Structure 1
Amino acid sequence: MRTAAFSAVCVALAALGHLAAGGSGPAPLAVAAGGATVMAVTAALAGRERSATAISVGLSAMQLFLHELFAFDDPSGISLAVHAHGGGLGENLGMLLAHLTATLVTGWWLARGEAALWALLRAAGRRLGAAFRLFPPPAVPAPPRAVFPAVAPAPVRELLRHTVSRRGPPLPAV
Protein backbone atom coordinates (compact mmCIF):
# COMPACT_ATOMS: atom_id res chain seq x y z
CA MET A 1 0.00 0.00 0.00
CA ARG A 2 2.81 2.39 0.93
CA THR A 3 4.67 1.64 -2.28
CA ALA A 4 1.59 2.18 -4.40
CA ALA A 5 0.77 5.48 -2.67
CA PHE A 6 4.32 6.80 -3.00
CA SER A 7 4.54 5.74 -6.66
CA ALA A 8 1.18 7.25 -7.58
CA VAL A 9 1.99 10.57 -5.92
CA CYS A 10 5.48 10.70 -7.38
CA VAL A 11 4.48 9.89 -10.96
CA ALA A 12 1.39 12.13 -10.89
CA LEU A 13 3.44 15.04 -9.51
CA ALA A 14 6.07 14.64 -12.23
CA ALA A 15 3.51 14.25 -15.04
CA LEU A 16 1.43 17.24 -13.93
CA GLY A 17 4.55 19.35 -13.38
CA HIS A 18 5.80 18.44 -16.83
CA LEU A 19 2.47 19.35 -18.38
CA ALA A 20 2.21 22.62 -16.42
CA ALA A 21 5.72 23.68 -17.39
CA GLY A 22 4.69 23.85 -21.02
CA GLY A 23 5.44 20.33 -22.14
CA SER A 24 3.06 18.37 -24.28
CA GLY A 25 2.47 15.85 -21.53
CA PRO A 26 4.37 12.61 -21.13
CA ALA A 27 3.67 9.65 -23.37
CA PRO A 28 1.56 6.91 -21.76
CA LEU A 29 4.41 4.43 -22.22
CA ALA A 30 6.79 6.79 -20.39
CA VAL A 31 4.29 7.17 -17.52
CA ALA A 32 3.92 3.37 -17.28
CA ALA A 33 7.69 2.82 -17.38
CA GLY A 34 8.26 5.54 -14.79
CA GLY A 35 5.54 4.16 -12.53
CA ALA A 36 6.96 0.64 -12.74
CA THR A 37 10.48 1.88 -11.98
CA VAL A 38 9.37 3.97 -9.01
CA MET A 39 7.26 1.07 -7.74
CA ALA A 40 10.22 -1.34 -7.94
CA VAL A 41 12.61 1.04 -6.16
CA THR A 42 10.17 1.91 -3.39
CA ALA A 43 9.18 -1.74 -2.88
CA ALA A 44 12.85 -2.51 -2.24
CA LEU A 45 13.00 0.28 0.37
CA ALA A 46 9.66 -0.39 2.08
CA GLY A 47 10.93 -2.59 4.91
CA ARG A 48 10.68 -0.06 7.74
CA GLU A 49 9.36 3.34 8.71
CA ARG A 50 11.14 6.18 6.91
CA SER A 51 11.79 9.70 8.17
CA ALA A 52 10.56 12.84 6.46
CA THR A 53 14.12 13.53 5.28
CA ALA A 54 14.51 10.08 3.74
CA ILE A 55 11.13 10.39 2.02
CA SER A 56 11.95 13.85 0.63
CA VAL A 57 15.38 12.75 -0.64
CA GLY A 58 13.87 9.68 -2.31
CA LEU A 59 11.09 11.77 -3.81
CA SER A 60 13.63 14.28 -5.16
CA ALA A 61 15.70 11.53 -6.79
CA MET A 62 12.61 9.97 -8.34
CA GLN A 63 11.40 13.38 -9.57
CA LEU A 64 14.73 13.97 -11.31
CA PHE A 65 14.53 10.54 -12.94
CA LEU A 66 10.92 11.05 -14.05
CA HIS A 67 11.64 14.59 -15.29
CA GLU A 68 14.32 13.26 -17.61
CA LEU A 69 12.23 10.25 -18.65
CA PHE A 70 9.22 12.37 -19.55
CA ALA A 71 11.35 14.92 -21.41
CA PHE A 72 13.30 12.30 -23.38
CA ASP A 73 10.94 12.14 -26.33
CA ASP A 74 9.16 15.47 -25.83
CA PRO A 75 9.12 17.66 -28.95
CA SER A 76 9.30 20.83 -26.83
CA GLY A 77 12.71 19.70 -25.57
CA ILE A 78 12.09 20.27 -21.88
CA SER A 79 15.11 18.62 -20.26
CA LEU A 80 17.87 19.43 -17.83
CA ALA A 81 20.40 19.67 -20.65
CA VAL A 82 18.27 22.30 -22.43
CA HIS A 83 17.79 24.17 -19.14
CA ALA A 84 21.51 24.18 -18.46
CA HIS A 85 22.44 25.60 -21.87
CA GLY A 86 19.26 27.48 -22.68
CA GLY A 87 17.35 30.33 -21.11
CA GLY A 88 19.78 31.56 -18.46
CA LEU A 89 19.84 31.54 -14.69
CA GLY A 90 16.27 32.81 -14.18
CA GLU A 91 14.69 29.91 -16.04
CA ASN A 92 17.00 27.36 -14.39
CA LEU A 93 16.38 28.75 -10.92
CA GLY A 94 12.61 28.87 -11.46
CA MET A 95 12.50 25.24 -12.59
CA LEU A 96 14.70 24.16 -9.69
CA LEU A 97 12.57 26.05 -7.14
CA ALA A 98 9.37 24.62 -8.59
CA HIS A 99 10.75 21.08 -8.35
CA LEU A 100 12.06 21.60 -4.81
CA THR A 101 8.87 23.22 -3.55
CA ALA A 102 6.63 20.54 -4.97
CA THR A 103 8.93 17.80 -3.70
CA LEU A 104 9.18 19.22 -0.17
CA VAL A 105 5.44 19.76 0.18
CA THR A 106 4.64 16.32 -1.19
CA GLY A 107 7.41 14.74 0.91
CA TRP A 108 5.98 16.32 4.06
CA TRP A 109 2.51 15.08 3.14
CA LEU A 110 3.78 11.53 2.51
CA ALA A 111 5.82 11.57 5.75
CA ARG A 112 2.71 12.50 7.75
CA GLY A 113 0.84 9.62 6.11
CA GLU A 114 3.77 7.30 6.84
CA ALA A 115 3.79 8.29 10.53
CA ALA A 116 0.02 7.84 10.78
CA LEU A 117 0.18 4.41 9.14
CA TRP A 118 2.94 3.18 11.47
CA ALA A 119 1.09 4.52 14.53
CA LEU A 120 -2.02 2.66 13.37
CA LEU A 121 -0.05 -0.56 12.84
CA ARG A 122 1.59 -0.29 16.29
CA ALA A 123 -1.82 0.25 17.93
CA ALA A 124 -3.28 -2.72 16.05
CA GLY A 125 -0.33 -4.84 17.14
CA ARG A 126 -0.85 -3.89 20.79
CA ARG A 127 -4.56 -4.74 20.58
CA LEU A 128 -3.86 -8.03 18.86
CA GLY A 129 -1.24 -8.87 21.49
CA ALA A 130 -3.72 -8.05 24.26
CA ALA A 131 -6.34 -10.29 22.64
CA PHE A 132 -3.93 -13.22 22.65
CA ARG A 133 -3.10 -12.59 26.32
CA LEU A 134 -6.80 -13.05 27.16
CA PHE A 135 -6.51 -16.71 26.15
CA PRO A 136 -3.50 -18.10 28.02
CA PRO A 137 -1.93 -21.33 26.81
CA PRO A 138 -3.16 -24.54 28.49
CA ALA A 139 -1.67 -24.98 31.95
CA VAL A 140 0.99 -27.61 32.39
CA PRO A 141 0.96 -29.17 35.85
CA ALA A 142 3.86 -27.95 37.94
CA PRO A 143 6.26 -30.50 39.38
CA PRO A 144 5.64 -31.28 43.05
CA ARG A 145 7.47 -29.01 45.46
CA ALA A 146 9.93 -30.46 47.92
CA VAL A 147 8.78 -30.22 51.49
CA PHE A 148 11.40 -29.18 54.01
CA PRO A 149 10.94 -29.80 57.71
CA ALA A 150 10.35 -26.74 59.82
CA VAL A 151 13.48 -25.67 61.69
CA ALA A 152 13.30 -23.61 64.82
CA PRO A 153 15.11 -20.27 64.49
CA ALA A 154 18.34 -19.88 66.42
CA PRO A 155 18.07 -17.79 69.56
CA VAL A 156 19.18 -14.21 69.18
CA ARG A 157 21.50 -12.82 71.77
CA GLU A 158 20.74 -9.29 72.78
CA LEU A 159 24.40 -8.34 72.83
CA LEU A 160 25.07 -9.30 69.20
CA ARG A 161 21.85 -8.07 67.68
CA HIS A 162 23.41 -5.13 65.75
CA THR A 163 26.75 -6.74 65.02
CA VAL A 164 27.74 -7.16 61.37
CA SER A 165 29.72 -10.23 60.46
CA ARG A 166 31.71 -10.14 57.28
CA ARG A 167 33.47 -13.38 56.71
CA GLY A 168 36.08 -13.96 54.04
CA PRO A 169 39.74 -13.41 53.33
CA PRO A 170 41.23 -10.04 54.18
CA LEU A 171 41.64 -7.47 51.43
CA PRO A 172 45.17 -7.07 50.04
CA ALA A 173 47.13 -4.08 51.29
CA VAL A 174 47.69 -1.35 48.79
Structure 2
Amino acid sequence: MSPASVPFRLVRAAVFAVVCVGLGWGAHAFGGGSVAPGMVAGALGGVFAAACPLSGRERAARAILPLLGGAQAVLHVVFSLAHAASPVEMPADAHAGLVPGLGMLVAHGWATLLTGLWLARGEALFWALLRRLAVRLLLVRLPVFWTPFVMVRTARPVVLRGAVLRYAVSRRGPPMVVDLF
Protein backbone atom coordinates (compact mmCIF):
# COMPACT_ATOMS: atom_id res chain seq x y z
CA MET A 1 0.00 0.00 0.00
CA SER A 2 1.51 3.30 -1.07
CA PRO A 3 1.32 6.32 1.23
CA ALA A 4 -0.64 8.22 -1.42
CA SER A 5 -3.43 5.63 -1.44
CA VAL A 6 -4.03 5.73 2.32
CA PRO A 7 -6.34 8.81 2.31
CA PHE A 8 -8.43 7.35 -0.51
CA ARG A 9 -8.78 4.03 1.27
CA LEU A 10 -9.76 5.72 4.53
CA VAL A 11 -12.36 7.93 2.85
CA ARG A 12 -13.89 5.02 0.93
CA ALA A 13 -13.99 2.81 4.04
CA ALA A 14 -15.51 5.65 6.09
CA VAL A 15 -18.25 6.27 3.50
CA PHE A 16 -19.08 2.56 3.40
CA ALA A 17 -19.13 2.34 7.21
CA VAL A 18 -21.32 5.42 7.65
CA VAL A 19 -23.81 4.29 5.00
CA CYS A 20 -23.90 0.70 6.28
CA VAL A 21 -24.29 1.56 9.95
CA GLY A 22 -26.68 4.40 9.16
CA LEU A 23 -28.86 2.01 7.18
CA GLY A 24 -28.80 -0.62 9.93
CA TRP A 25 -29.42 1.87 12.71
CA GLY A 26 -32.19 3.62 10.78
CA ALA A 27 -33.90 0.33 9.93
CA HIS A 28 -33.61 -0.81 13.54
CA ALA A 29 -35.07 2.46 14.81
CA PHE A 30 -37.82 2.37 12.15
CA GLY A 31 -38.72 -1.13 13.35
CA GLY A 32 -39.18 0.17 16.88
CA GLY A 33 -35.82 -0.77 18.37
CA SER A 34 -33.51 1.47 20.30
CA VAL A 35 -29.73 1.44 20.16
CA ALA A 36 -27.35 3.18 22.53
CA PRO A 37 -25.00 5.71 20.91
CA GLY A 38 -22.01 3.76 22.23
CA MET A 39 -23.21 0.67 20.37
CA VAL A 40 -23.57 2.68 17.16
CA ALA A 41 -20.04 4.05 17.57
CA GLY A 42 -18.70 0.54 18.18
CA ALA A 43 -20.54 -0.78 15.12
CA LEU A 44 -19.18 2.10 13.06
CA GLY A 45 -15.63 1.29 14.16
CA GLY A 46 -16.11 -2.41 13.46
CA VAL A 47 -17.50 -1.89 9.96
CA PHE A 48 -14.79 0.68 9.23
CA ALA A 49 -12.08 -1.77 10.33
CA ALA A 50 -13.61 -4.50 8.16
CA ALA A 51 -13.96 -2.21 5.13
CA CYS A 52 -10.41 -0.77 5.22
CA PRO A 53 -8.61 -3.83 3.80
CA LEU A 54 -11.24 -4.19 1.07
CA SER A 55 -11.05 -0.59 -0.12
CA GLY A 56 -7.82 -0.93 -2.09
CA ARG A 57 -9.36 -1.13 -5.54
CA GLU A 58 -12.55 -0.40 -7.40
CA ARG A 59 -15.47 -2.65 -6.48
CA ALA A 60 -18.48 -3.41 -8.64
CA ALA A 61 -22.05 -3.98 -7.48
CA ARG A 62 -21.50 -7.75 -7.45
CA ALA A 63 -18.85 -7.25 -4.74
CA ILE A 64 -20.54 -4.44 -2.82
CA LEU A 65 -23.95 -6.11 -2.43
CA PRO A 66 -22.73 -9.25 -0.60
CA LEU A 67 -20.46 -7.18 1.65
CA LEU A 68 -23.30 -4.82 2.51
CA GLY A 69 -25.73 -7.69 3.00
CA GLY A 70 -23.36 -9.53 5.34
CA ALA A 71 -22.65 -6.36 7.29
CA GLN A 72 -26.40 -5.71 7.60
CA ALA A 73 -26.96 -9.22 8.95
CA VAL A 74 -24.21 -8.82 11.53
CA LEU A 75 -25.48 -5.36 12.52
CA HIS A 76 -29.00 -6.73 12.87
CA VAL A 77 -27.81 -9.40 15.28
CA VAL A 78 -25.63 -6.95 17.24
CA PHE A 79 -28.38 -4.35 17.50
CA SER A 80 -30.94 -7.02 18.47
CA LEU A 81 -28.65 -8.36 21.19
CA ALA A 82 -28.05 -4.84 22.47
CA HIS A 83 -31.78 -4.17 22.45
CA ALA A 84 -32.56 -7.47 24.20
CA ALA A 85 -30.01 -6.64 26.88
CA SER A 86 -31.63 -3.28 27.61
CA PRO A 87 -33.76 -3.16 30.77
CA VAL A 88 -36.77 -1.55 29.09
CA GLU A 89 -38.17 -3.68 26.27
CA MET A 90 -41.37 -3.20 24.43
CA PRO A 91 -43.41 -6.44 24.22
CA ALA A 92 -44.54 -5.97 20.60
CA ASP A 93 -41.08 -5.05 19.33
CA ALA A 94 -40.20 -6.52 15.93
CA HIS A 95 -36.52 -6.62 16.86
CA ALA A 96 -36.97 -8.51 20.11
CA GLY A 97 -35.81 -11.84 18.65
CA LEU A 98 -32.66 -12.64 16.74
CA VAL A 99 -34.52 -14.37 13.92
CA PRO A 100 -36.24 -11.76 11.77
CA GLY A 101 -39.70 -12.21 10.32
CA LEU A 102 -40.50 -12.24 6.61
CA GLY A 103 -41.40 -8.55 6.55
CA MET A 104 -38.12 -7.61 8.18
CA LEU A 105 -36.16 -9.78 5.73
CA VAL A 106 -37.90 -8.14 2.78
CA ALA A 107 -37.29 -4.67 4.19
CA HIS A 108 -33.61 -5.44 4.87
CA GLY A 109 -33.28 -6.97 1.41
CA TRP A 110 -34.74 -3.98 -0.41
CA ALA A 111 -32.80 -1.48 1.67
CA THR A 112 -29.57 -3.42 1.13
CA LEU A 113 -30.20 -3.76 -2.62
CA LEU A 114 -30.98 -0.08 -3.14
CA THR A 115 -28.15 1.12 -0.91
CA GLY A 116 -25.70 -1.31 -2.53
CA LEU A 117 -26.59 -0.11 -6.02
CA TRP A 118 -26.27 3.49 -4.83
CA LEU A 119 -22.83 2.76 -3.36
CA ALA A 120 -21.75 0.94 -6.55
CA ARG A 121 -22.76 3.94 -8.65
CA GLY A 122 -20.88 6.28 -6.32
CA GLU A 123 -17.87 3.98 -6.51
CA ALA A 124 -17.93 4.05 -10.32
CA LEU A 125 -18.23 7.84 -10.35
CA PHE A 126 -15.40 8.20 -7.83
CA TRP A 127 -13.02 6.06 -9.91
CA ALA A 128 -14.03 7.82 -13.14
CA LEU A 129 -13.22 11.13 -11.48
CA LEU A 130 -9.83 9.83 -10.34
CA ARG A 131 -9.04 8.59 -13.85
CA ARG A 132 -9.97 11.94 -15.38
CA LEU A 133 -7.85 13.79 -12.86
CA ALA A 134 -4.92 11.49 -13.58
CA VAL A 135 -5.24 12.09 -17.32
CA ARG A 136 -5.55 15.83 -16.75
CA LEU A 137 -2.43 15.88 -14.57
CA LEU A 138 -0.59 13.77 -17.12
CA LEU A 139 -1.52 16.16 -19.92
CA VAL A 140 -0.46 19.18 -17.89
CA ARG A 141 2.93 17.65 -17.09
CA LEU A 142 3.46 16.04 -20.49
CA PRO A 143 4.99 19.05 -22.31
CA VAL A 144 7.84 19.10 -19.79
CA PHE A 145 8.98 15.65 -20.89
CA TRP A 146 7.86 15.71 -24.52
CA THR A 147 9.44 18.01 -27.09
CA PRO A 148 8.06 18.11 -30.63
CA PHE A 149 10.34 17.76 -33.62
CA VAL A 150 12.23 20.95 -34.51
CA MET A 151 11.49 22.59 -37.84
CA VAL A 152 14.40 24.24 -39.56
CA ARG A 153 13.41 27.63 -40.92
CA THR A 154 15.17 29.14 -43.87
CA ALA A 155 16.03 32.80 -44.20
CA ARG A 156 13.83 33.29 -47.27
CA PRO A 157 10.36 31.86 -47.54
CA VAL A 158 9.87 29.41 -50.37
CA VAL A 159 7.88 30.92 -53.25
CA LEU A 160 5.31 28.63 -54.70
CA ARG A 161 4.82 28.99 -58.47
CA GLY A 162 1.75 28.00 -60.33
CA ALA A 163 2.50 25.15 -62.67
CA VAL A 164 0.49 24.57 -65.84
CA LEU A 165 0.09 20.93 -66.57
CA ARG A 166 0.46 19.95 -70.23
CA TYR A 167 -2.26 17.37 -70.28
CA ALA A 168 -4.74 19.13 -68.05
CA VAL A 169 -8.11 19.71 -69.62
CA SER A 170 -10.24 22.55 -68.34
CA ARG A 171 -13.84 21.45 -68.10
CA ARG A 172 -15.33 24.62 -66.68
CA GLY A 173 -18.48 26.10 -68.09
CA PRO A 174 -21.61 24.69 -69.67
CA PRO A 175 -21.32 21.60 -71.82
CA MET A 176 -20.82 22.10 -75.54
CA VAL A 177 -23.81 21.49 -77.77
CA VAL A 178 -23.01 19.10 -80.57
CA ASP A 179 -25.29 19.11 -83.60
CA LEU A 180 -25.38 15.74 -85.25
CA PHE A 181 -27.85 16.71 -88.07
Q: Give the paired residue count.
A: 129
How far is the alpha carbon of 1:16 from its aligned partner? 0.7
- Structure 2 Cα separation of the partners of residues 69 and 80 of structure 1: 11
What are structure 2's unaligned runs of at least 5 residues? 1-10, 148-181
How far is the alpha carbon of 1:7 from its aligned partner? 0.7
Q: 1:37 aligns with which of 16, 29, 46?
A: 46
Correspondence for 2:55: 46
- Structure 1 Cα separation of the partners of residues 99 and 21 of structure 2: 22
When residues 126 and 82 of structure 1 are mapped into structure 2, their CA distance, relative to the original with a 3 A threshold, is closer
Correspondence list, 1:154-173, <5 A: none
When residues 30 and 115 of structure 1 are mapped into structure 2, their CA distance, relative to the original with a 3 A threshold, is same
Correspondence for 1:164: none
TM-score with structure 1 setting the length: 0.69
How far is the alpha carbon of 1:15 from its aligned partner? 0.5
- Structure 2 Cα separation of the partners of residues 115 and 131 of structure 1: 24
Give the 3-state SS of the residue equivalent to 1:73 in structure 2. Answer: helix
Dislocated runs of 4+, deviation >3 Å: 79-83
Correspondence for 1:2: 12
How far is the alpha carbon of 1:35 from its aligned partner? 0.3
Among all aligned residue pairs of Structure 1 and Structure 2, give the percentage whose two residues are the same amino acid.
43
Correspondence for 1:58: 67
Deviations 1:62-89 (A, max 9, x none): 1111111111121447255354xxxxxx
How far is the alpha carbon of 1:53 from its aligned partner? 1.4
TM-score with structure 2 setting the length: 0.67
- Structure 1 Cα separation of the partners of residues 17 and 98 of structure 2: 25
How far is the alpha carbon of 1:56 from its aligned partner? 0.9
Report the RMSD for the aligned CA atoms in angstroms: 1.8
What are structure 1's unaligned runs of at least 5 residues? 84-91, 139-174
Q: Which amino acid aligns with 2:20?
A: C
